Structure 1
Amino acid sequence: MSQIPHTSAERPVPTSADVARLAGVSRATVSYVLNGTSAVRISEATRIRVREAADELGYIPHAAARSLRSGSSRMVLLPASPVPVGPLYSRFFNEFQWALRRFDYTVVQYGSLGLSPDEAARAWAELRPVAVVGLGGPQLTAAGIQLLRRSGVKAVITLGPEPVAGAHALAMDHRQVGLCAGAHLLERGRRRIGVVVPREPGLEMFSQPRLAGVRAAVEGSGATVEPLALSYDEESAAALAERWPALGLDAVFAYNDEYAMLLMRALQDRGIDIPGECAVMGADDLLLGRLLRPRLSTVQLDMATGQQLAELVERVVRDPGGEPERHDMMAARAIPRESTQPGRRAPAHT
């Protein structure tokens, strides 16, 4: 009876020593090249030879071991947002991650659903990232930032209207969005303004400041503001459109372009003339809004680029002892189109 020869099911895992032998250099040189160390002068020819040897052997540096040696890693941790983000933010996040990769950082998104801010900070610290950029997820506290600092995190950057002690701040004041929308609708002669407040959990961190901005814009004008709860589905929009005549509104700022398009279609299906009886305004300036009839007026958000944020991360990682910086990340301006043209007043309803 023939015997099947026994072979190893796994190939040996290549080590840095194997790379060094193949490239004809020391293990220290391999470490310097593959860890991106710039403090040691190594010729470009040697760097190429080491990388080619690593590729040939399939050698991957051990990130955890590197972190233990250096006290930190090249990992930038991005807490995952617990709420859906729109196309504008998705484009920004993608650009930011590509820019970080060009700086040789590894980007890791961490889901923190169900964790308190301080619990999340402890979980992030266990991974020993070199930077934490709070673009979503739990909002960091001063205590959480101190914990991250003690664990070796060199750059902590938060996103929000107010800075947090000990962190670099990206200011994103969504009141400005509501202020632009409210001022534009007032200029167009609208005096009873509805403001969509999405029912989706987590969006209140954006919708409430936008609502406050509209209220601030109309203060002292005699105009009124009516919050309108709306879910992002056709049934909710149809139900709101059904009771629209009783509301007596002549304009609506619909939180963003997506909710605006959803509601505008429901209002048109109900026979309500846009903009004759009701002006509709969104935010984010999505291309699809320009393709509607009437074309959708919007608030355009001019945001800092992902490249600029990546450069901030790199600068702070290299000089972590500097004073916390504050950067305005967003500016807003109204883009008038057909959906908010001056129109006749909505008929009175009894």
Structure 2
Amino acid sequence: MNDSPERGGVGPVPPTSTSVARYAGVSRATVSYVLNGLAAGRVSAATQEKVRVAAEELGYVPHAAARSLRSGSSGLVLIAVPADTVPAYGSLFTGFVAAFQTELQAYGHTGVLHGARTGGAPQAAARAWAELRPAAVIATIGAPLDEASVETLKRSGTSAVVSYGLPPAPGAHGIAMDQEEVGAVAGAHLLAGGRRRIGVVVPLEHGLGMFSTPRLEGVRAAAAACPGARVEPVELAYTEESAAELAARWRDLDLDAVFAYNDEYAMLLMRALQDAGIDVPGEVAVVGADDLLLGRLLRPRLTSVRIELPPPAEVAALVDRLIREPETPPAVHRRSTAHIEARESSSRAE
């Protein structure tokens, strides 16, 4: 039976809860109880099954917007990931987001990625997010968020606002990562290997300064304890052309090591250095960050700072708890730790 007649030139009319009720021979209230998980003690098992079969046969899907109007929340967890810099964040972060979305499903939440330009107005971003009536917003690295935008989201019915990656805005929870520690670990390793003239890659991609600046400061802090050490920022775009240009003038920079921001930039630059006839690690030691598998497949194998992020399952559990307990006082819940994975690309200087 087809309970969804077509409209002239427009396409089929989506089935409604009324269609399901008529098809199953029950009331709309019964359909609502069953499809919203409220049937226990109210609707018999046989009737529940009848409603589910009717909904499936008609192709009925609950309307998220209507559900939002009734409950004040869509059940969505909005993951704000700036669209203009996603490729530069690295596989470690994108892998975390994918796993986090999977873990959310166990709690009945749906994780949805939402692009937002880095450097945009926080209030404009918050209003765009609030239109979807999310149960929670996870503002990741580069997504705009301040005290007023947090308040806008809460007034619209968002139960939990969480900053991921940096110290949170006032009123938001935070999962902060110590980026300076990443640089300090890389710098200490290079210095221990006898390197004294260290370049630190500063990506030209928009929005990454919140990572690269504290990582540069971490290397500088490590070098401050080593007399005669020099730290030099070097700009690099995530392109082969930019890497080749930097490699062509590398010897003029008089640097014997580089902490290349992360593994992707490190692999890009190391290939360019080798193409320019510069020996790695003989002339230049190279260190990345994130400890990606691909870096271990290169020759020489890439030394990397391994960053222990909060497990996606723990973050999902935290978000679920904050949704259920929206009055929980804002706090920073966890920080990352970093350690070196030493390989051939940073062998000790002679």
Pick closer, same or farther for the CA change 1:261–1:211 going to 2, 3 Å: same
Residue 225 of structure 1, aligned match among 226, 231, 234:
231
* Pairing 1:101–2:105 present: yes
Pick closer, same or farther for the CA change 1:23–1:305 going to 2, 3 Å: farther
Cα contact 2:103–2:312 (8 A) shared by 1 = yes
Q: How far did 1:21 drift?
A: 4.0
Distance in 2 separating the partners of 1:38 and 1:32: 5
What pairs with 1:1-350 in structure 2 (closer than 5 Å)?
9=8, 10-37=11-38, 47-81=48-82, 82-84=84-86, 85-113=89-117, 115-222=120-227, 223-344=229-350
Q: Percent identity?
A: 57
Distance in 2 separating the partners of 1:43 and 1:133: 39
Q: How far did 1:112 drift?
A: 2.6
TM-score of the aligned structures, taking structure 2 as reference length: 0.89
Q: Which amino acid aligns with 1:83?
A: T
Q: How far did 1:158 drift?
A: 0.9
Cα contact 1:78–1:136 (8 A) shared by 2 = no
The count of residues paired between Structure 1 and Structure 2 equals 338
Secondary structure of the 2:138 match is strand
Pick closer, same or farther for the CA change 1:40–1:213 going to 2, 3 Å: farther
**Gap regions ≥5 residues in structure 2:** 1-5
TM-score of the aligned structures, taking structure 1 as reference length: 0.89
Distance in 2 separating the partners of 1:337 and 1:38: 59
Q: Which amino acid aligns with 1:60?
A: V
The 10-residue stretch of structure 1 (191-200 or 238-247) with the greater mean CA deviation from structure 2: 238-247
Q: Which amino acid aligns with 2:35?
A: L
Cα contact 1:33–1:50 (8 A) shared by 2 = yes
Q: Report the aligned-residue RMSD.
A: 2.2
Distance in 1 separating the partners of 2:221 and 2:132: 43
Pick closer, same or farther for the CA change 1:8–1:281 going to 2, 3 Å: closer
Pick closer, same or farther for the CA change 1:12–1:225 going to 2, 3 Å: closer
Cα contact 1:210–1:255 (8 A) shared by 2 = yes
The 10-residue stretch of structure 1 (105-114 or 170-179) with the greater mean CA deviation from structure 2: 105-114
Q: How far did 1:43 drift?
A: 6.3
Q: How far did 1:94 drift?
A: 0.7
Distance in 1 separating the partners of 2:183 and 2:48: 53
- 1:5-52 deviations in whole A, cap 9, x for unaligned? xx8644443221332344454423322332344887766665444333
Secondary structure of the 1:246 match is helix
Secondary structure of the 1:282 match is strand
Secondary structure of the 1:228 match is strand
Q: How far did 1:132 drift?
A: 0.8
Distance in 2 separating the partners of 1:11 and 1:197: 54
Pick closer, same or farther for the CA change 1:41–1:190 going to 2, 3 Å: farther
Q: How far did 1:109 drift?
A: 2.5
Q: How far did 1:101 drift?
A: 2.6
Distance in 2 separating the partners of 1:42 and 1:215: 67
Distance in 2 separating the partners of 1:184 and 1:177: 11
Secondary structure of the 2:333 match is strand
Secondary structure of the 1:326 match is coil
Structure-1 residue corresponding to 2:3 = none
Pick closer, same or farther for the CA change 1:38–1:162 going to 2, 3 Å: farther
The 10-residue stretch of structure 1 (122-131 or 20-29) with the greater mean CA deviation from structure 2: 20-29
Cα contact 1:116–1:138 (8 A) shared by 2 = no
